[in-house]
Amino acid sequence: MNYLRDGDRFSKLFGSFKFFISSAFVRMMIAVLFFLLATTKTYAQKISLSEKKASLESIFQLIEQQTPYRFVFNTIILEKGKPVAIKIKNAEIGEVLDLVFRNQPLSYTIVKQNIILKEKEISEQELTVINGLVTDEKGIGYPGARISIKSKNINTLTDQEGKYKLVLTDVRDQILSIEALGYQKQELVIQDDFNIDVQLKPDLKILEEIIIVGYGEVNKRDLTGSVGEVNMKDLAKAPVKSFDDAFAGRIAGVQVTSPDGQPGAVPTIIVRGGNSVTQDNSPLYVIDGFPIEDYNINAIHPDDISSIEVLKDASSTAIYGARGANGVVIVSTKKGIKGKSVFSFNNYYGLQGNTSQIELMQPFEFVKYQLELDSARAASIYLQDGKTLESYRDEKGINWQDELFREAPMLSSYFAVRGGNKDNNYAFSSSVFDQKGTVIASGFKRYQARLVIEQALTKRFKVGVNANMSGLKSYGTIFTGSRNTFFNILINTWQYRPIAGNFSLDELLSNAQDPAVASATNYQWNPVLTATNELRDRVNSLLTSNVYGIYDISKSLKLRITAGLNLSKLRNDEFNNSKTRQGNTSSSLGQRGVNGSITFTELSNLINENTLTYQKSIDKKHFFTVLSGFTIQENKFAYYGSGAIRIPNEALGLGGLAQGVPVVIQPQNSENRLLSFLSRLNYNYKSKYLFTATLRADGSSKFTGNNQWGYFPSGSFAWNVAQEKFMQGAHFLSETKLRLSYGLTGNNRISEYAYYGAINQGGNNSYMPGGTFISGAFVSNLSNPDLKWESTAELDFGLDIGFLNQRFTLTADIYKKKTNDLLLNAQLPTSSGFSNVFQNIGAVENKGLELTLQSFNIRNDKVKWSTSFNISFNRTKLVGLAQNQKELLSTVRWNSGNDYAQNPAYIASIGRPVAMFYGFIWDGVYQFEDFDRTATGTYVLKADIPNNGNPRQNIQPGDIKYKDINDDKVVDMQDRTEIGNPNPKFYGGLANNLSFRNFDVHVFLQFVYGNEVMNVNRYLMEGGTTTLGANQFASYQNRWTPENPSNQYFRTRGWGPSVYSSRVIEDGSFIRLKTINLGYKVENKLLQRLAIANLRVYVAAQNLITLTKYSGNDPEVSVFDSALTPGLDYSAYPRAKVVTLGLDISF
Angle at 1036 between CA 1035 and CA 1039, to 5 degrees: 125
pLDDT score for 244 = 75
Question: Considering the domain 232-334 in this protein, what is its CATH number?
Answer: 2.170.130.10
CB–CB of 573/540 below 8 Å?
A: no
pLDDT score for 9 = 36
Mean pLDDT (whole number) for 294-309: 91
pLDDT score for 1111 = 96
CB–CB of 1118/257 below 8 Å?
A: yes
Under the banding of pLDDT at 50, 70 and 90, the label for residue 832 is low
Residue 439 DSSP code = B
Residue-averaged pLDDT of the chain: 87
Residue 203 has pLDDT above 80, yes or no: no
CATH 3.55.50.30 for domain 45-122, yes or no, is yes
pLDDT digits (tens, 9 = 90+) for 415-436: 999 999 989 999 999 999 999 9
pLDDT score for 1055 = 86
Distance (Å, whole) CA 297 – CA 305: 11
pLDDT digits (tens, 9 = 90+) for 729-752: 777 888 899 999 999 999 888 888
Residue 217 has pLDDT above 80, yes or no: yes
Tell me which amino acid residue 313 is.
D
Under the banding of pLDDT at 50, 70 and 90, the label for residue 887 is very high
Query: Which phi and psi (to 5°) does residue 908 adopt?
Result: -125, 110
The residues, ordered by sequence, that sit 6+ positions from 73 with a Cβ below 8 Å of its Cβ are: 106, 116, 117, 118
Residue 227 has pLDDT above 90, yes or no: yes
The residues, ordered by sequence, that sit 6+ positions from 979 with a Cβ below 8 Å of its Cβ are: 916, 917, 918, 919, 920, 921, 1060, 1061, 1062, 1065
Q: Tell me where in the chain the CATH 2.170.130.10 domain(s) lie.
A: 232-334
Residue 1122 has pLDDT above 70, yes or no: yes
CB–CB of 498/373 below 8 Å?
A: no
pLDDT score for 480 = 66
Residue 442 has pLDDT above 70, yes or no: yes
Q: Tell me where in the chain the CATH 3.55.50.30 domain(s) lie.
A: 45-122
Strands across the sheet containing 977-980: 887-890, 906-909, 916-919, 977-980
Residue 1134 has pLDDT above 80, yes or no: yes
Which stretch of 12-16, 173-177, 585-589, 939-943 has the lowest confidence by average pLDDT?
A: 12-16
Mean pLDDT (whole number) for 1035-1048: 95
The residues, ordered by sequence, that sit 6+ positions from 1122 with a Cβ below 8 Å of its Cβ are: none
pLDDT score for 26 = 37
Which of 591, 842, 821 is closest to 710 using CA atoms? 821
Distance (Å, whole) CA 839 – CA 834: 14
- CA 50, 54, 56, 60 torsion-angle sign: negative
The residues, ordered by sequence, that sit 6+ positions from 1143 with a Cβ below 8 Å of its Cβ are: 345, 346, 347, 348, 1095, 1096, 1097, 1098
Mean pLDDT (whole number) for 272-286: 92
The strand pairing partners of 933, in sequence order, are 939
Which stretch of 75-79, 813-817, 857-861 has the lowest confidence by average pLDDT?
A: 75-79
Which of 577, 493, 570 is closest to 537 using CA atoms? 570
Residue 1073 has pLDDT above 60, yes or no: yes
- CA 256, 257, 263, 266 torsion-angle sign: negative
pLDDT digits (tens, 9 = 90+) for 175-189: 888 887 667 888 888
- Strand 284-287 vs strand 290-292: parallel, antiparallel, or unpaired? antiparallel
Which stretch of 10-14, 785-789, 933-937, 1136-1140 has the lowest confidence by average pLDDT?
A: 10-14
CB–CB of 443/476 below 8 Å?
A: yes
pLDDT score for 589 = 65
pLDDT score for 781 = 67
Q: Tell me where in the chain the CATH 2.60.40.1120 domain(s) lie.
A: 127-202
Under the banding of pLDDT at 50, 70 and 90, the label for residue 16 is very low
pLDDT score for 212 = 87
Which stretch of 470-484, 656-670, 1073-1087, 1102-1116 has the lowest confidence by average pLDDT?
A: 470-484
CA dist 940 → 835, 933, 962 (Å): 44, 6, 17
Half-sphere exposure of 422 (CA within 13 A, CB side): 2
Which stretch of 14-28, 360-374, 626-640, 1075-1089 has the lowest confidence by average pLDDT?
A: 14-28
Residue 113 has pLDDT above 90, yes or no: no
Tell me which amino acid residue 26 is.
V
The pTM score is 0.82
Buried/exposed code over 1119-1128 (b: 16+ C-beta within 10 A; e: otherwise): bbbbbbbbbb
Distance (Å, whole) CA 739 – CA 715: 11
Pairwise pLDDT comparison (4 vs 412), residue with the higher score: 412
The residues, ordered by sequence, that sit 6+ positions from 1086 with a Cβ below 8 Å of its Cβ are: none
Under the banding of pLDDT at 50, 70 and 90, the label for residue 896 is low
Pairwise pLDDT comparison (675 vs 1087), residue with the higher score: 675
Under the banding of pLDDT at 50, 70 and 90, the label for residue 279 is confident
Under the banding of pLDDT at 50, 70 and 90, the label for residue 862 is confident
Mean pLDDT (whole number) for 991-1013: 96
Distance (Å, whole) CA 1096 – CA 1077: 12
Query: Which phi and psi (to 5°) does residue 56 adopt?
Result: -60, -40
Residue 21 has pLDDT above 50, yes or no: no
CB–CB of 451/467 below 8 Å?
A: yes
Distance (Å, whole) CA 537 – CA 357: 26
Which of 1090, 1075, 1078 is closest to 998 using CA atoms? 1078
pLDDT score for 1099 = 97
Pairwise pLDDT comparison (753 vs 1116), residue with the higher score: 1116
Under the banding of pLDDT at 50, 70 and 90, the label for residue 46 is confident
pLDDT digits (tens, 9 = 90+) for 55-90: 888 888 888 888 988 888 877 788 778 888 888 888
Residue 169 has pLDDT above 80, yes or no: no
CB–CB of 912/878 below 8 Å?
A: yes
Mean pLDDT (whole number) for 117-137: 75
Mean pLDDT (whole number) for 675-690: 95
Distance of CA 695 to the CA centre of its chain: 33
Residue 981 has pLDDT above 60, yes or no: yes
Under the banding of pLDDT at 50, 70 and 90, the label for residue 484 is very low
Which of 243, 233, 152 is closest to 866 using CA atoms? 233
CA dist 1111 → 132, 364, 1033, 1070 (Å): 63, 23, 11, 12
Under the banding of pLDDT at 50, 70 and 90, the label for residue 441 is very high
Q: How many residues does the chain have?
A: 1147
- CA 1104, 1107, 1111, 1116 torsion-angle sign: negative
Angle at 646 between CA 644 and CA 652, to 5 degrees: 75
CB–CB of 715/741 below 8 Å?
A: yes
Domain 127-202 fold is Immunoglobulin-like (2.60.40)
Mean pLDDT (whole number) for 619-631: 94
